[in-house]
A and B are shown apart, each in its own frame.
Chain A
């Protein structure tokens, strides 16, 4: 089942030189995102489910659907662990 994801409401973030920088609110750790993670983060301006994120990734980077699905799943797992996004 496709989870719906949103940014942690207290996660501070900025875009510098095209690169997304995010601070995890619970431990104050700063994360520098690569282009894929940065793109997905920007997609989360509104709540999105995994399927929507995968489709957006496919369109943006012209990647295979299965590759995008894996990348999105990894992004979500990692960012939930870092507490910068959360399941709705």
Chain B
């Protein structure tokens, strides 16, 4: 009989216990998410790690709400989550990429419930301050992350941000992009953010708050399209764009990133 395990995983102060996992799944999680496997669980998720491929479904993630539960699914996984009980279950194709996608979707949704979100960005921590370089796929986040110099990598793909009483905290995540390295499991105050643009000319350029909020909106990971959720994300984006300095950033990697930033 196959032995079953449980693992606790914490990102941005949100800890979930994954139970019902196989040894293969546990090994993958330990390898991929090792720095984030700790904490006191607030939530519980039962994983059924199996063969899962429903060709009738697309590869795009769909999210629906049914009574007080969320359903989110695509061709290779389906999951149900009930915020009121803090419990959920998922059937996941036995692939680390499928598991990673399911975790991204779940954490992005639960973060939205906690006045935060996963933002498509490269994030770095330096001298106890956080810096976000926000951009969609292909904008150069991983390239920039490779040139991060003497700073800690929070992620080259998806960084967690939460609003707190006196500002914003930015957290490392294990969600990795082309760099192939997970972030450090730390949280620091977010000092400022940049909209990454790798088109010349290189430099830092002013951006107005409406543009910043608009671009932030386009990079927040969100599958919940209910109107109250859209309003809360809009509040998050507009408040963050108003509260923190933001510039457009077109980079020149012939210089040290931080020297250049301080110019």
A21–B230 contact, CB under 8 A? no
**Given the contacts A16-B242, A21-B238, A28 and B214 also touching, CB distance less than 8 Å:** no
- Are B225 and A28 neighbours in the complex by a CB distance under 8 Å? yes
Q: Which of A13, A14, A19, A20 contacts B208 (CB 8 A)?
A: A19
Q: Which residues of A contact B242 (CB under 8 A)?
A: 16
| Chain B: minimal CB distance from A66 (Å) | 30
Please measure, in the bound complex, the distance between the C-alpha atom of A12 and the C-alpha atom of B235, giving whole angstroms. 9
- Tell whether B160 is near chain A: CB-to-CB under 8 Å: no
The prevalent SS among residues of A at the interface is strand
Is A17 a contact partner of B210 (Cβ separation < 8 A)? yes
B217 contacts partner chain A, Cβ-Cβ < 8 Å: yes
When distances are taken between beta carbons in the complex, the residues of chain B under 8 Å from A12 are 227, 230-231, 234
Instruction: Give the total of A residues in contact with B, Cβ under 8 Å.
Output: 15
Q: In this complex, what residue of B is CB-closest to A14?
A: B238
Q: Within 8 Å of chain A (Cβ to Cβ): is B53?
A: no
**How close is A22's CB to chain B, nearest CB, in angstroms?**
9
1/0 per residue B194-229: CB within 8 Å of A? 000000000000001111011001100010010100
- Measured in the bound complex, the distance between the Cα atoms of B221 and A28 in whole Å is 12
With A12-B234, A16-B242, A17-B210 already in contact, the answer to whether A30 and B227 are too (CB < 8 A) is no
Measured between alpha carbons, how far is A21 from B211 in the docked complex, in Å? 9
Cα(A30)–Cα(B234), bound, Å = 9
CB neighbours of A32 from chain B (8 A): 210-211, 214
A residues in contact with B210, CB < 8 Å: 16-17, 19-21, 32
**Chain A residues with CB under 8 A of B217:** 23, 30
- Report the separation of the CA atoms of residues A23 and B214 in the bound assembly, to the nearest whole angstrom: 10
The residues of A that contact B231 with a CB separation of less than 8 Å are 12, 23
A26 to chain B, nearest CB (A): 8
- Chain B nearest CB from A20 CB (Å) reads 8
Q: How far is the CA of A5 from the CA of B243 in the complex (A)?
A: 34
Instruction: Decide: A16 and B230 in contact? CB cutoff 8 A.
Output: no
A25 nearest CB across to chain B (Å): 5
Instruction: State whether the Cβ of A10 lies closer than 8 Å to any Cβ in chain B.
Output: yes
Give Cα distance in the complex from A14 to B218, angstroms.
16
B241 at the interface (CB under 8 A from A): yes
**Interface set of A (CB-CB < 8 Å, partner B):** 10, 12-14, 16-17, 19-21, 23, 25, 27-28, 30, 32
10 pairs, A vs B, C-beta closer than 8 Å: A10-B230, A12-B234, A14-B213, A16-B241, A16-B242, A19-B209, A21-B234, A27-B225, A30-B218, A32-B211
Which residues of B pack against A, CB within 8 Å? 208-211, 213-214, 217-218, 222, 225, 227, 230-231, 234-235, 238, 241-242
The 6 closest A-B pairs by CB, nearest first: A19-B210, A10-B227, A12-B231, A16-B209, A16-B210, A12-B234
